[in-house]
A and B are shown apart, each in its own frame.
Chain A
């Protein structure tokens, strides 16, 4: 993430004002085009000569890509070019929405610093395709639908299907991520996000968790998603299923987190910044602490 070069490679620049125009440009240039949203990632990649696009297509001025909208019953819709700080600000002025999507809010509001959050977009964060992108675990948690468009039409996918691994997306050169839709989470649910950032800029193990109706075995729901420790985000359904068994939620927690560990063990990243062993254990430790925090948050609101 840093470069011996001080100048960018030469490129052409286009700033379409409609989605249609942008898709046409993408269709025309394909592999030779790169989409620019906030540019926080792209400019660095270009400085490092990791990419040298012939044309840079700036999507910031396309109004429909800047949307941030919550509709009761339908959920939250985020345009791909909505900035991180715009999203958190929207949530701050709509506390009910913020609490519904608390895990996403916690993740986004702790990305980098304010300057970067003012530029970086949610779509850029998703499409940067590095394991430690903070939007991943919460988007997996809330069953987010990603809308992808090209001149040929539109399709819908999920974050776990879309992000395949470091630098690897299920995205054709002529396609654009248009929006992210987060359906309403279960009523009266609580969610949160936790990451470990040990002496680097990015997380080495992130957990997002959601709990609904914890004391009612029939209606309760627990969701767990992880990222940063694994090459791509994972919704850990094996662990979630444990909570459908009989018994008190607290009696199932150990078994669920053991399932989580065994389900993802083989996938965990090992690098100079954190061992696989540490990452795996940190997922578990954070899951316990997060679970406690969520239980407490049910209590707090009841006074």
Chain B
């Protein structure tokens, strides 16, 4: 492996369409949502109508009498908590309902109709408790407590909840001396920033089928990103042997982090048992998805940045308060990551970043693509532009001065950046070059529409435990084709296509002789920790290369006997094993991979299987006091530039040009990388401009639907794309590759925010940059601009009128 050698590739680096495209376009792709099992029952969850209440009693006798209803379960049936990092989740509300939408009971019935009919007949007796909706209020002493037993929950070692408060996790990164740093500053800028709650809006809502069998084995079909960690956590929570649980994952209709970790499997399994060991199906409508399944935390942040007169960052301080809603299970790690990676792509000696995940009586939250980085970049990348303006320096120059230098600089966590980590300076140059930064944006034919440019840089690495690992298995078939067994998920990224390309490349066989089955199961796929953090190609690809090496050496051992040369003198390629330098001495792979048959009937070897693995090397836990250590296996550097057209009178923003630049080491499949760059931009744009869960006075989601929760559509796409891939190879990545899946969306919001800042002198620090918010900011911060635009319209009306009158005179 390693990309230092320049090689001519047959597949690697080629634009090959994703393998799942045919299945998806023709509609044959299987999803859990569509699956039915014989004898299957349907589950429907009753949602709490109270944001915070003691459940005094649940009367479901009427529900049980509905024909077709098999059982009703409540929190009493499952008096235990589950989770990945902070085990604060219940299966159904235990004693207390914690948000409007909290599942308090489950009906299991022969048909969805019976289940829904029964649902309406359940009566819950609530004793309302004081709710708390604002995370800052929730942090104050004396605030109503959501989890009085926080101290008793199972906590993963990297996390520090504060029992007796609503703080699910507290993280502190501290390096150098910020006070001393700020004392050297020529300019200091600070500000408060906010990001709303969001929904992942994956196409396929959560869906799980579970069958707890009388023999003690459990089969689960789940729309999950991470079947192995779901299996492990499920086994731990339910006290079951891991090996008795099988999780099957077919195609997954999007995940974006929302289907990582542990999902709804535990509830479905327990309901299957409760229903007499029959399979049960739990799936959500969009409204349920947006009211009871985990969404994405809102953030209130503050940052303070100091530059000296040369533009060097002398100190940075930030605070992030993640509103984790009623459960913080996964958000604790998102908040921790926002904290430890708070300095983005820059080298800063004096840093203090605090981050919190705080419970409130709102819908629970979990991971989202980007995982804390979009949040910390929204603060830092905006502050840099503000500080640069104050100093009178080009923000590109300020960035250039402060960028991390691979091999030399230390990151926020004090780890020295590896020398082959990428080329951040070149990323910056390409972004500003492609954007035409420094040149005036083009003007429009409408005087009330103004064009503006902005950009931001971004960095992203996987946030995973230091021992997160992956593996891969390949086995040959009679025709010389290869079955690839990997655990990494297939929910749109296209990783399996790239993995198949690696196998085809290494054996020199046609791509259509490499098979990756769309249905993954924990018992017949190789293990991988999770499909998250942009790690799939890097970790599972590395494991796959080792598996290929393993298979090759087994093939060579047999071929060495047949061809009578030492294994060292054999090469594999073009679907053959051959003698180096004398390629006409060869054996086609299909004649050796199931065992070699001599003319007289003797046979040697046997079916070839290769196995490989990958584990993070030299990563460490972070110091509990200072957050220092080595948390990631790579950092991918990137940047985003935008040209936007702002309607000054309405506040509407249209992105006319998008520039995306990423140093990903090696693009195994540039088509798929560009797909990520485009898709990620649009997702970033959607979060920047439109997406926001709105809460009513009960803390209940008021827009649990796609009419009032708007997601970017085809018509909102930028008119022009510039997509640039830089390839500075990382020696321990497959062919030099680093991950790309998340970074593509991180810098979009700050780039747009910076464009408003430069082009319109308007500073908006709250997302989303909805039309009315931008309109209001223009009117408040730059009223002249608004007035002039309105005058311009009126002037042009007069001009049109004049022309019209002249035309009429001529006509007469």
Residue numbers of A with Cβ under 8 A of B are 1-7, 196, 198-202, 214-215, 248-250, 253-254, 272-275, 278, 281-282, 285, 288-289, 291-292, 295-296, 298-299, 302
Q: Which of A200, A281, A299 is B800 in contact with, Cβ under 8 Å? A: A299
| 1/0 contact string of B178-196 vs chain A (CB within 8 Å) | 0000000000000000000
Tell me the bound Cα distance from A298 to B804 in angstroms. 7
Interface pairs (9), CB distance under 8 Å: A2-B285, A3-B287, A4-B287, A6-B112, A7-B116, A199-B690, A272-B694, A291-B797, A292-B793
The verdict on A2 contacting B707 (CB below 8 Å), with A215-B808, A288-B790 known, is yes
A248 touches B801 (CB 8 A): yes
Q: A1 → chain B, closest Cβ, in Å?
A: 4
A4 touches B47 (CB 8 A): yes
Tell me the bound Cα distance from A83 to B500 in angstroms. 49
B334 beta carbon closer than 8 Å to chain A = no
A214 touches B801 (CB 8 A): yes
B710 touches A199 (CB 8 A): yes
Residue numbers in A under 8 Å from B694 (CB-CB): 272-273
Q: A222 → chain B, closest Cβ, in Å?
A: 13
Q: Which 8 A-B pairs have the closest CB atoms?
A: A2-B705, A198-B771, A201-B707, A199-B690, A2-B287, A295-B800, A199-B710, A1-B707
B287 touches A272 (CB 8 A): no
Q: 20 other contacts beyond A278-B775, A295-B801, with CB at 8 A cut-off?
A: A1-B705, A1-B707, A2-B290, A4-B47, A4-B287, A4-B288, A5-B116, A5-B285, A7-B112, A196-B652, A198-B651, A198-B772, A199-B691, A201-B708, A249-B801, A285-B793, A288-B793, A288-B797, A292-B800, A302-B808
Best-surrounded residue of B47, B112, B705 (most CB of chain A within 10 A): B705
Q: Which of B651, B690, B708, B710 is A1 in contact with, Cβ under 8 Å? A: B708
Residue numbers in B under 8 Å from A272 (CB-CB): 694, 702-703
Residue numbers in B under 8 Å from A5 (CB-CB): 116, 285
Tell me the bound Cα distance from A24 to B59 in angstroms. 43
- Nearest to A291 among chain B residues (CB) is B797
Best-surrounded residue of A4, A248, A298, A299 (most CB of chain B within 10 A): A4
B803 beta carbon closer than 8 Å to chain A = yes
Residue numbers in B under 8 Å from A196 (CB-CB): 650, 652, 771
B707 touches A200 (CB 8 A): yes
- Nearest to B289 among chain A residues (CB) is A2
Q: A176 → chain B, closest Cβ, in Å?
A: 27
Tell me the bound Cα distance from A272 to B702 in angstroms. 9
Tell me the bound Cα distance from A214 to B801 in angstroms. 8
B109-123 residues at the A interface, CB under 8 angstroms: 112-113, 116
Best-surrounded residue of A202, A274, A292, A299 (most CB of chain B within 10 A): A292
Q: Which of A2, A248, A278 is B772 in contact with, Cβ under 8 Å? A: A278
B291 beta carbon closer than 8 Å to chain A = yes
B689 beta carbon closer than 8 Å to chain A = yes
Q: Which of A3, A198, A214, A302 is B770 in contact with, Cβ under 8 Å? A: A198
Q: A68 → chain B, closest Cβ, in Å?
A: 28
Residue numbers in A under 8 Å from B130 (CB-CB): none
B704 beta carbon closer than 8 Å to chain A = yes
Tell me the bound Cα distance from A2 to B205 in angstroms. 14
Tell me the bound Cα distance from A215 to B287 in angstroms. 53
Q: B238 → chain A, closest Cβ, in Å?
A: 27
B689-730 residues at the A interface, CB under 8 angstroms: 689-692, 694, 702-708, 710
B741 beta carbon closer than 8 Å to chain A = no
A200 touches B710 (CB 8 A): yes
Residue numbers in A under 8 Å from B287 (CB-CB): 2-4
B285 touches A3 (CB 8 A): yes
Residue numbers in A under 8 Å from B25 (CB-CB): none
Residue numbers in B under 8 Å from A198 (CB-CB): 650-652, 770-772
Residue numbers in A under 8 Å from B800 (CB-CB): 292, 295-296, 299
B807 touches A299 (CB 8 A): yes
Tell me the bound Cα distance from A93 to B804 in angstroms. 29
Best-surrounded residue of A2, A199, A215 (most CB of chain B within 10 A): A199
Residue numbers in B under 8 Å from A2 (CB-CB): 285-287, 290, 704-707
B36-94 residues at the A interface, CB under 8 angstroms: 47
Q: A92 → chain B, closest Cβ, in Å?
A: 20
Residue numbers in B under 8 Å from A298 (CB-CB): 804
Tell me the bound Cα distance from A274 to B112 in angstroms. 37
Residue numbers in A under 8 Å from B808 (CB-CB): 215, 302
Residue numbers in B under 8 Å from A250 (CB-CB): 797-798, 801
- Nearest to B651 among chain A residues (CB) is A198
Tell me the bound Cα distance from A41 to B811 in angstroms. 50
B736 beta carbon closer than 8 Å to chain A = no
Q: A196 → chain B, closest Cβ, in Å?
A: 6
Tell me the bound Cα distance from A109 to B189 in angstroms. 48
Q: A285 → chain B, closest Cβ, in Å?
A: 5
B638 beta carbon closer than 8 Å to chain A = no
Q: B62 → chain A, closest Cβ, in Å?
A: 17
Tell me the bound Cα distance from A298 to B800 in angstroms. 10
| 1/0 contact string of B772-794 vs chain A (CB within 8 Å) | 10011000000000000010011
B738-779 residues at the A interface, CB under 8 angstroms: 768, 770-772, 775-776
B523 beta carbon closer than 8 Å to chain A = no
The verdict on A6 contacting B801 (CB below 8 Å), with A1-B708, A202-B707 known, is no
B805 beta carbon closer than 8 Å to chain A = yes
Residue numbers in A under 8 Å from B285 (CB-CB): 2-6
Residue numbers in A under 8 Å from B113 (CB-CB): 7
Tell me the bound Cα distance from A201 to B705 in angstroms. 10
Tell me the bound Cα distance from A295 to B802 in angstroms. 10
Residue numbers in B under 8 Å from A285 (CB-CB): 649-650, 790, 793
B650 touches A282 (CB 8 A): yes
Q: B674 → chain A, closest Cβ, in Å?
A: 27
B443 beta carbon closer than 8 Å to chain A = no
Tell me the bound Cα distance from A250 to B794 in angstroms. 9
A215 touches B112 (CB 8 A): no
Residue numbers in B under 8 Å from A3 (CB-CB): 285, 287
Tell me the bound Cα distance from A167 to B208 in angstroms. 38
Q: A63 → chain B, closest Cβ, in Å?
A: 33
B156 beta carbon closer than 8 Å to chain A = no
Tell me the bound Cα distance from A182 to B351 in angstroms. 69
Q: A276 → chain B, closest Cβ, in Å?
A: 11
Residue numbers in A under 8 Å from B776 (CB-CB): 278
- Nearest to B120 among chain A residues (CB) is A49
Tell me the bound Cα distance from A69 to B651 in angstroms. 40
A199 touches B768 (CB 8 A): yes
B566 beta carbon closer than 8 Å to chain A = no
Residue numbers in A under 8 Å from B768 (CB-CB): 199
Residue numbers in A under 8 Å from B801 (CB-CB): 214-215, 248-250, 295
- Nearest to B768 among chain A residues (CB) is A199
Residue numbers in B under 8 Å from A296 (CB-CB): 800
Tell me the bound Cα distance from A253 to B287 in angstroms. 45
Residue numbers in B under 8 Å from A200 (CB-CB): 707-708, 710
Q: A85 → chain B, closest Cβ, in Å?
A: 18
A295 touches B708 (CB 8 A): no
Q: A302 → chain B, closest Cβ, in Å?
A: 5
Best-surrounded residue of B47, B288, B650, B772 (most CB of chain A within 10 A): B772
Tell me the bound Cα distance from A291 to B807 in angstroms. 18
- Nearest to A202 among chain B residues (CB) is B707
Tell me the bound Cα distance from A61 to B516 in angstroms. 50
Residue numbers in A under 8 Å from B112 (CB-CB): 6-7
Q: B777 → chain A, closest Cβ, in Å?
A: 12
Q: B67 → chain A, closest Cβ, in Å?
A: 13
B708 touches A273 (CB 8 A): yes
A289 touches B793 (CB 8 A): yes
Residue numbers in B under 8 Å from A295 (CB-CB): 797, 800-801, 804
Residue numbers in B under 8 Å from A249 (CB-CB): 801
B277-298 residues at the A interface, CB under 8 angstroms: 285-288, 290-291
Residue numbers in A under 8 Å from B116 (CB-CB): 5-7
- Nearest to A201 among chain B residues (CB) is B707
- Nearest to A275 among chain B residues (CB) is B772
Tell me the bound Cα distance from A274 to B775 in angstroms. 11
Residue numbers in B under 8 Å from A202 (CB-CB): 707
